[in-house]
Chains A and B, each alone.
Chain A
């Protein structure tokens, strides 16, 4: 465990220095992402408030829903985006084979050497700001319990986001071409969670709860915090299971990755 932390911090410092080499670009990128995600929040807010409610959720409440999703993505992706996105290139070029010869598990070596992505600070700050504003406009009074609940839900949500990134990179062991199935399952399916899932048919609610549990990322925690109804007939404790769901899918995704690794044949370059 001590080695784990030493490795993590030394890899972390290298990643930070690498980003900071282009300070101007880094700053311009952060502002650009504020504008781009700010526009997404604004669009969602305009849509919902123009109609007052969407499936029983007001404008600020839907912003919290989207904020949770973006913030957990920021946390999960800062650790796993470079890894997930870069794996295919490293396999194609043959660099990945070096990871197999290191004295730590290839998964850990890949994650550490891919580095922490500092750029997600923009997603994090914009979602934090929007959520604070949204809670304030609802005159929500936070309690110690609700803050602890929010933090634990965010951790679970970040694990779900990370699991998605890990699972999608597994495809690179089988094919070094494009990865359309993963894009479909991870990006297109996730779009549903920008809105309260209760506006969708029951089949979709089931898929998002039990098969691809994206609803635990933002819908269930937000429903518990704001006292919104969950799909009819679902157990009332479901909204509190985000950390558990996160730990479960995260473990499954690592198992999947290792299974993929067993089937890996080097490209030989």
Chain B
């Protein structure tokens, strides 16, 4: 565990250098949030639509963007680069699992950026959240459980998509598929509350909605306590199933790997 903590800290430290970039990222995040505020003001006004209120939407945008930023990573690109310059053979020799290494690196790299981008937006949103109801204690606990599962699931799917880099020589396009599926089936762009029936039904059968959408539903208490076990169990089962799958794919990849020089 200590090894992964070291990777996490190193990766975080290398991000802390870019102070100046952080300032502009904060401005960008604030601007993006303002756009969402104006958009949902124009759409919702002061009324609720399908049981969704303005403050629900703001909390949705906040939680969703924090979770997406925390897991923002291009595993396929990292593997591609490591294969081109040959460092992948070094990475395979490390006394640490490659998946765990990527996970700690991703969290270290993203935690600073997602916190600096979220905190100012959170402060700004306090002005608009006057009518919001905070969840009760049990819902908060369930939210954290489901959010941790969601983050793990997000990473798992990113990693699984990224592993295909071992078979494709160039793979800059993989992230487009990933983003597309996340946006269509995961409600990361538009909450699934507004989806037409067909898409809504489809989304239940894929892992994407359990990443950010179901945790948000728990935070907003839109999921009743009696039903809370369903999305949590589904996320857990997806996580187990995909871990088994990536393990098999990883073994095949390590066997297939040919390194160019290096």
A32 and B177 within 8 A (CB): yes
A28 to B174, CA, bound (A): 9
Interface residues of A, count at CB 8 A: 34
B179 partner residues in chain A, CB cutoff 8 A:
36, 39
Could you tell me the distance in whole angstroms from the C-beta of A258 to the nearest C-beta in chain B? 25
Task: Report if A55 contacts B (CB, 8 A).
Answer: yes
B173 and A188 within 8 A (CB): no
Given contacts A51-B43, A178-B21, contact A29 B173 (CB under 8 A): yes
Considering only residues 24-70 of chain B, those with a C-beta below 8 Å from chain A are 24-25, 27-28, 31-32, 35, 38-39, 41-44, 49-50
Task: Report if B169 contacts A (CB, 8 A).
Answer: yes
B39 and A199 within 8 A (CB): yes
From A66-74, A140-148, A156-164, A179-187, the one touching the partner chain is: A179-187
- Residue from the set A32, A55, A195 with the largest chain B CB neighbour count within 10 Å: A32
B262 partner residues in chain A, CB cutoff 8 A:
none
From B146-154, B189-197, B247-255, the one touching the partner chain is: B189-197
From B81-89, B131-139, B180-188, B210-218, the one touching the partner chain is: B180-188
A46 partner residues in chain B, CB cutoff 8 A:
190, 194-196, 199
A25 partner residues in chain B, CB cutoff 8 A:
168-171, 173
- Residue from the set B31, B41, B43, B49 with the largest chain A CB neighbour count within 10 Å: B43
Q: Which of A22, A40, A54 meets B170, CB within 8 Å?
A: A22
Interface residues of B, count at CB 8 A: 39
A180 and B20 within 8 A (CB): yes
A33 and B176 within 8 A (CB): yes
A54 partner residues in chain B, CB cutoff 8 A:
39, 42-43
B169 and A39 within 8 A (CB): no
Q: Which of B38, B44, B171 meets A201, CB within 8 Å?
A: B38
Task: Report if B127 contacts A (CB, 8 A).
Answer: no
Task: Report if A264 contacts B (CB, 8 A).
Answer: no
Could you tell me the distance in whole angstroms from the C-beta of B30 to the nearest C-beta in chain A? 9
Task: Report if B172 contacts A (CB, 8 A).
Answer: yes
